[in-house]
Structures are given as structure tokens and as C-alpha cells.
Amino acid sequence: MKAFANLYARLDATRSSNAKLAAMQDYLLATAPEDAAWAVYFLSGGRPRQLVPSKLLRELTLTVSNLPQWLFEESYQAVGDLAETMMLLLPKSPHTPDESLTVWVEKQLLPLRGLPAEVLMAQLLPLLNQLDQQSQLVGIKLITGSFRVGVSRLLVTRALGLVSGIDAKQIAQRLVGYTDISARPTAADYLKLIAPINEELGERNDGQPYPFFLAHPLQAATDAFDGLIGSSDNWLVEWKWDGIRSQLVKRNGQLWVWSRGEELITDRFPELNVLADYLPDGTVIDGEIVVWQHQYMEAATSLSETDSQAIAVGVQPFALLQQRIGRKTLTAKILHDIPVVILAYDLLEWHGQDSREQRQSVRRAQLEKVVAQCNQPQLQLSTLLTGVNWQDLNLQRAASRSLGVEGMMLKRKDAQYGVGRTKDVGVWWKWKIDPYSVDAVLIYAQTGHGRRAGLYTDYTFAVWDAADNEAERKLVPFAKAYSGLTDVEMREVDAVIRKTTVEKFGPVRSVTPTLVFELGFEGIALSSRHKSGIAVRFPRMLRWRKDKPISEADTLETLKDLLPQTSRGAKNGDAKVGGSQ
């Protein structure tokens, strides 16, 4: 337990990925496999179901510390983390017993689950009292299921890669299912993770994706394009889809789906699995996973490949995809209401042959054949756009918002498929539209977490529900944002919030509106779940409009004008797909 608590402290103390990698490597090399098994489980996001309700933990802390409820709440707000607050208020031992992480998890913590409240109240304190501060914090975090320490699953796979000398992507494949909620990782499981590749057992680099080729932003006046990148004739042009960039890998009868972060996401998209039956072994496709509207899915085969309008209409807002990604379990209802397809735009391997050095146009022609042969609605082509010149394409690009895409992608016809952001074997440009922006008023503030704990850094923004000349107009909240300010600005805003507080509700304060910010966001959709009837995507503060009084902030009307044509026409005022006939 102590060693794991020390690892936690090391990971917690640094923001450098290399330092985190080194800390994990040191721990994994020094610890017993059974403990490493649990450590990897927790670090890569595994959580047993909550062992003790947090309400009971609060009660316990109140009883033991003998504090009034309000003072506990104030303390909690200053700290910003329940486990840490408890750790600071509970008695602790100067030393932690030598029992291992495994003993603690399996013998002490997991058995707590389901115990009656009285028993827990009696058992928990002696249990936690044995631990020193650092171990107590970790112990409580394991109990509350809130163990998080700023390492991604990807970083854990890299650490395991370093420890075992095996490619991290191979580790990622082995990690599939490792953190399932019912999993109880054992020493054997861990040793399997880091074992040498065993070809006799048929384990080869089966599911390995290729490094993704990344696009560069193109920011220039359209008139300058010919001079900068030549005639539009030399380029393949597509929409820039707003989904999850992914590679489909089909080998040895099995299908793997990888995200651009080289995270294995096969489990997240079970409807793509059918493609395993229709794609030949040795096929790797690069494309974008998007949510697709039902009726088009059924009619998909009849769509002409060049009918870009129709294809784009089938794509649903990213917000829906996000809802789906957010779910722990994919219910039948979600799969029905939010179905996905992959829009294919490149072919990296065909019949087991790496095709990345072929020209873009050649790969594209082959891709079109592959998609046609596969003939499944889950695999669609990302359509090519045609225009007589850049100006013409720019005119078409103006439709991006209403089509729910982020602009266009330009791929040189003779480009190879490079590695990462290289430009030496060809180039992809992203020709994006500008982000949306409105001027909004800060009306609520909440204290942040982690680095921002104790500071008011998370804000709710509102716009007016009527124009300036209406006598009684109100501010309607529509977005929350916490990024975009410098540390100095954050402190300045924090001070204003404290001075203009009207009411406190838990960690949230309402303020007398005085602050106006220019908010940028990437997408906007109708939503019945929000008071304003609007949901925006990736809202962030672009700038603090110190020059603007709140009366000059934007209105709901301005915001609604930004909605894509398609959703503005929707009758039920909700962008959900489920209701389509």
C-alpha cells in the first residue's frame, strides 16, 4: 500500500508525462506482479463499484472530527476533493503497515461493499487510522471510486511497454477488458500483459494500426491558394467530418478499431463489428466515425456516391456521439438511437500489403472498390467534392455549418500517407471555418478542482432573452466554460466573483452580472435539456470583454441564428435522432 501511495504522490506531484512514465516504470519494476496487477487496473481507469456510499463517509468524518456540518462543507469547498478533505480531518497514523496493495484491496477494501451502515461506521475508522496521510488519501479514493491521478490509459500502456520492451499498441490490445468493472486482476493477468510476444500461441502484431497521418491548418485568403498550393485540380477535396478519427483494422478474421490517440475503441462501437465478416483480411481503412441518421442508413445503398448533400444530412451532431462516448454501458436503446457508421477516406493496407506509399488518388480509387465490395451500411465513403477552382470550393464551404461539418480537407492527389505531422511525402490541409462566437454574461461561478481547487474558475454564461429595447428582459444560461483565461485573469475574475456574490449554493455562487466574455464554441444544436433550448460544443472563453457593459451582450436570437438549417427546421425542438420516422 505504501509503495502504491508513494507512486500516487509522485504522479500527483508532476505534470510532466516523462516524469509520470518514470514513476510508473520504477513502481512496476520494483513491485510484486500481484500488486502491479491492481496498480495497472486502477491507473488505467478500472474502478470497482463504489464500496461505501460517500454520504456515509461524510457522516463518519463529521462524527469523528466533531465538526458542525457547515464547517465540514466550507472545508470541503476549500479543498475541492472529498477524499482529500477526509484525509485532512481524520486522525491518521504516522506509519502505514507493510501489507501490500493486494492485501489492502482484496482483504480490507473490497469486503466493505454491501456492509450495513452501522458495521461500516464501526469498521472504517480503525481501518483508515492505520494509514499515514498519503496512504489514507489513496485508500479513501479507492473506497469512493474516485481514484484518478492524471495518467491516461495510453500513458499506462506506454509504461508497460517500457517495462516489458513490447510495443505499447500491442499492450493496448492485451489490456482490452482488463478494467471491466467485475475484473479482479491477478498476478497471472499482469504477467500476461508484459509477456514476450508468443507467436506459437498465434499472438502476432495482429491488430496493429498504422501511425495516423495528420493534417495541417491552412489559413490564407482563398485568392492566395493558387500561389500557395497550386491549382485545385491537384487536390482531392472532402468535408472535414466532425467525428472520431479512426482506423479499422481487419486481420485474421478479427476487427480492431483504433482512435487517433492510438486507443483501442473496438468495444465502444459494436455495430462496426459486422464489417469483420465483409472485409477481407489484411485491410486497414482510415476514416471518421460519426453518428448516422436511421432513414439514410436504410436508404444508403441507393445514394449516389457523389451526392454530398445527402450524405452530409445523414451525419448527426457530434454532441450525440459525445453522449454515447460518455456512457459506461451501451444499452440497446443507445445503440438504436445513436447508431454510428464509419466514413472511409483512405486505404492503408489491402490484402496485407502496406499501401501508404502509393499516391493518394490510387489509394482512393482502390478504397472506393473496397467499400463497394463490402457493401455494408456501416461503411460509407467520405464523398469527394468537386469545384472548378478554389473560389468555387470556397462557396461550397460556406454550407459547412448547416451540414454539420468543420470545413474541408484538401489532400494532394500525389501524396503518400505520411507519419504524424510530416510534410515530406505529401500533405493534407484542413481548411476550417471560423469558430462561432458570442458575447455572454457570467452569472454563476463554481470552484475548480485539482490545480484550480479553491478558485472560482468554472463559469456559467448567459445571453439575453430579448433585445435591448424590451423592458423586462432576462439572462438565460446556455453554456459552461472554464478554459481560455490566463492564470492572472483567472485570479482577477475570482476576486470579482467574491466581491459580487449574491448567493451561495454549495460550491456555486450566483453573482451580480458584471462580466462579459467572448465565448467561442465549435458546434451548436437545439436541446430540450437546456433551459435556453440550445446546447453548444466545446465552449471556451476567447477573450474577456472588459470594454463591454452587460447590456451589450448577445441575445438568444443571435445564438439561434447560428443553428444549422437542418436543426432549425426541426419541429420537436430537439436534435435527438430517435424520433425520426
Partner 1 sequence: MELIVARPEGLYCPPGDFYIDPWRQVERAVITHGHGDHARTGHAHYLAAAPSEGILRKRLGANIDLLSLEYGQKINHHGVTLSLHPAGHVLGSAQVRLEYKGEVWVASGDYKVEDDGTCAPFESVPCHTFITESTFGLPIYQWQPQNEIFADINQWWQSNADNNRASVLFCYAFGKAQRLLSGLNPDIGPIIVHGAVEPLNRVYREAGVNLPHTQYVSDIQDMAQIRKSIVLAPPSTQGTSWMKRFGDYSDAFASGWMQLRGARRRRGVDRGFVMSDHADWPGLQTAIMATGAERVFVTHGQVHTMVRWLNEQGLDAQGFNTEYGEEAAEAEANLPSQTEPSIEAKSTDMNSLKAFD
Which residues form the interface with partner 1 (CB under 8 A)? Answer: 12-15, 65, 67-68, 70-71, 74-75, 78-81, 84-85, 88-89, 447-455, 487-488, 490-491, 494-495, 498-499
If the CB atoms of residues 144 and 316 are measured against partner 1, the closer one turns out to be 144
Tell the smallest beta-carbon distance from residue 129 to partner 1 (Å).
16
Tell the smallest beta-carbon distance from residue 506 to partner 1 (Å).
15
Tell the smallest beta-carbon distance from residue 9 to partner 1 (Å).
10
Strands 379-381 and 340-350: parallel
Tell the smallest beta-carbon distance from residue 474 to partner 1 (Å).
29
Helix (H, G, I), strand (E, B) or coil at 516: strand
If the CB atoms of residues 84 and 271 are measured against partner 1, the closer one turns out to be 84
Cα 83 to Cα 144: distance, rounded to the nearest angstrom = 8
CB 532, CB 540: distance < 8 Å: no
Q: Tell me the DSSP string of 256-286.
A: EEEETTS-B-GGG-GGGGGGGGTSPSSEEEE
If the CB atoms of residues 448 and 520 are measured against partner 1, the closer one turns out to be 448
Tell the smallest beta-carbon distance from residue 261 to partner 1 (Å).
23
Phi-psi region of 282 (alpha: psi -120 to 50; beta: other; left: phi over 0): left
CB 565, CB 313: distance < 8 Å: no
CB-facing half-sphere around the CA of 115: CA atoms within 13 A:
18
If the CB atoms of residues 141 and 540 are measured against partner 1, the closer one turns out to be 141
CB 314, CB 322: distance < 8 Å: no
C-alpha distance from residue 278 to each of 253, 272, 281, 376, 458 (Å): 10, 11, 9, 8, 48
CB 407, CB 240: distance < 8 Å: yes
Q: Enumerate long-range contacts of 222-225, CB under 8 Å, 24 or more apart.
A: 222/390, 222/391, 222/394, 223/391, 225/390
If the CB atoms of residues 214 and 496 are measured against partner 1, the closer one turns out to be 496
Cell 471560423 sits at which residue?
A: 434
φ and ψ at residue 5, rounded to 5 degrees: -65, -40
If the CB atoms of residues 94 and 217 are measured against partner 1, the closer one turns out to be 94
φ and ψ at residue 437, rounded to 5 degrees: -150, 145
Amino acid present at 18: N
CB 286, CB 345: distance < 8 Å: yes
List strands edge to edge, sheet with 407-412.
216-217, 428-432, 407-412, 235-239, 384-385
Amino acid present at 539: P
If the CB atoms of residues 8 and 269 are measured against partner 1, the closer one turns out to be 8
If the CB atoms of residues 73 and 271 are measured against partner 1, the closer one turns out to be 73
If the CB atoms of residues 148 and 260 are measured against partner 1, the closer one turns out to be 148
Tell the smallest beta-carbon distance from residue 138 to partner 1 (Å).
12
If the CB atoms of residues 78 and 181 are measured against partner 1, the closer one turns out to be 78
CB 419, CB 437: distance < 8 Å: no
Grid cell, residue 531, equals: 433551459
Element (H, E) at 212: none
If the CB atoms of residues 144 and 380 are measured against partner 1, the closer one turns out to be 144
Tell the smallest beta-carbon distance from residue 229 to partner 1 (Å).
40
Q: Which residues, 6 or more positions from 83, have their beta carbon under 8 angstroms from its beta carbon?
A: 137, 140, 141, 144, 146
Tell the smallest beta-carbon distance from residue 2 to partner 1 (Å).
16
Tell the smallest beta-carbon distance from residue 452 to partner 1 (Å).
7
If the CB atoms of residues 81 and 346 are measured against partner 1, the closer one turns out to be 81
Tell the smallest beta-carbon distance from residue 155 to partner 1 (Å).
17
Cα 303 to Cα 310: distance, rounded to the nearest angstrom = 8
Cα 547 to Cα 516: distance, rounded to the nearest angstrom = 9
Tell the smallest beta-carbon distance from residue 399 to partner 1 (Å).
45
Tell the smallest beta-carbon distance from residue 10 to partner 1 (Å).
10
CB 431, CB 470: distance < 8 Å: no
CB 144, CB 50: distance < 8 Å: yes
If the CB atoms of residues 182 and 486 are measured against partner 1, the closer one turns out to be 486
The DSSP call for residue 455 is S
Rg (CA), the chain: 27
Tell the smallest beta-carbon distance from residue 146 to partner 1 (Å).
13
Planar angle of CA 464, 465, 471, nearest 5 degrees: 85
